[in-house]
Structure 1
């Protein structure tokens, strides 16, 4: 048994594809509008998707999606929609084996962190339900009227940015007790973990 007084350190989980079976932000955008509105928005995003083939900047295409689908939405409305989405989709999205590992670390009193490229305001209800100690995600800008401005605050939380954000939260010398991810965007985070789990979760709800 672990000593209850022992500091188990920080354990970081990627969200989309690691704790979940698919991208939560895309699923959320599709859920909150009609099929016709989603199809129309995706057609409008076609130039941004084409440009991505050249610049390979996921932050730019994510910002374009935010502008298309969320610009002008009041913060309170978006938070309410995110809560409703989490309540409806958590049983369908969250991987049972990932949840088992999450709970095991929580029982050992590790500091539990979700580090995700998805907007933090969308993932927050999931993080709260899981009992996460911290949520680090891509941030949206809100205007003077507290509505989505249609741009991202800073960098997309992916790749090296995940480590920079962890360092900002826990200090420049942060060493993770464990980290779990499923894409190249998690590589840098996994490198600073004593125990690195890459694509270890396979269960579907």
Structure 2
């Protein structure tokens, strides 16, 4: 199945290897709603938990969902979902589950026109990056399948036994944090050649890009 996923996305076509890669401009894609048709983390949690456990978890999260109406903190509600559905899961197990989810759901989630744009950019001398508010660990396998040069996302926190704590180890990778993460990895003078996003959480990234693409992808699998 992993081979089928890789072949379908053809990352081998691109491999932008360049001895001067540090000087290449960056093209950044948001993930959920931009490269995908819906929120991938919610889909992952539902898939991993199964119908009954997922319904129970949502019921337990009702107070948190009500509180969200007032505080509007996406990172907070997401962390609470991590605590409900993933707390205590070993790192290796979560990594394997994320890989299997990507292998079985890539064709159902990825927008064909977004993937086509990704492949067009890959023929140019740029670094292709996914920048997402979803956990970096769950989006990483999709990025590897696409041949991304980097996947920057919200980072989960693990305890001394390498089990999910039910919290994040840093800020929610949304809004200004996307720029922070890009500059951490590619330097303060990085050139953002193009960026694609679909929500207000991508505003800063789009404003920085020479070519901003807001909700330009409409395709469905």
Q: TM-score range by the shorter chain?
A: over 0.9
Where does the alignment leave 5 or more consecutive residues of structure 1 unmatched?
Answer: none
Of 89-98 and 166-175, deviating more is 166-175
Shift of residue 201 of structure 1? 0.2
Q: Structure 2 length normalisation: TM-score?
A: 0.89
**Helix, strand or coil at the partner of 1:173:** coil
Report the number of matched residues: 202
CA shift digits 1:155-186 (9 cap, x unpaired): 10000110111111112233300000000000
Q: Which of 155, 160, 177 pairs up with 2:193? A: 177
Is 1:138 equivalent to 2:154 in the alignment? Answer: yes
Distance 1:51 1:171, change over 3 A: same
Where does the alignment leave 5 or more consecutive residues of structure 2 unmatched?
Answer: 1-17
Does the CA contact (< 8 Å) of 1:52 and 1:61 recur in 2? yes
Shift of residue 68 of structure 1? 0.1
Q: Distance in 2 between matches of 1:104 and 1:8?
A: 16
Q: Distance in 1 between matches of 2:24 and 2:37?
A: 27
Q: Which residue of 1 aligns with 2:126?
A: 110
Is 1:101 equivalent to 2:117 in the alignment? Answer: yes
What are the within-5 Å matches in structure 2 for residues 45-124 of structure 1? Answer: 45-124=61-140
Q: Which residue of 2 aligns with 1:39?
A: 55
CA shift digits 1:25-54 (9 cap, x unpaired): 000000011211101100111111111111
Q: Distance in 1 between matches of 2:111 and 2:26?
A: 21
CA shift digits 1:65-119 (9 cap, x unpaired): 0000000000000011001100110000000100011001111131010000000
Does the CA contact (< 8 Å) of 1:116 and 1:158 recur in 2? yes
Does the CA contact (< 8 Å) of 2:156 and 2:164 recur in 1? yes
**Helix, strand or coil at the partner of 1:82:** helix
**Helix, strand or coil at the partner of 2:210:** strand
CA RMSD of aligned residues (A): 1.4
Q: Which of 37, 41, 44 pairs up with 1:21? A: 37
Q: Distance in 2 between matches of 1:186 and 1:175?
A: 17
Shift of residue 122 of structure 1? 0.3
Does the CA contact (< 8 Å) of 2:25 and 2:190 recur in 1? no
Q: Which residue of 1 aligns with 2:176?
A: 160
Q: Structure 1 length normalisation: TM-score?
A: 0.95
Does the CA contact (< 8 Å) of 2:37 and 2:220 recur in 1? yes
Does the CA contact (< 8 Å) of 1:167 and 1:173 recur in 2? yes
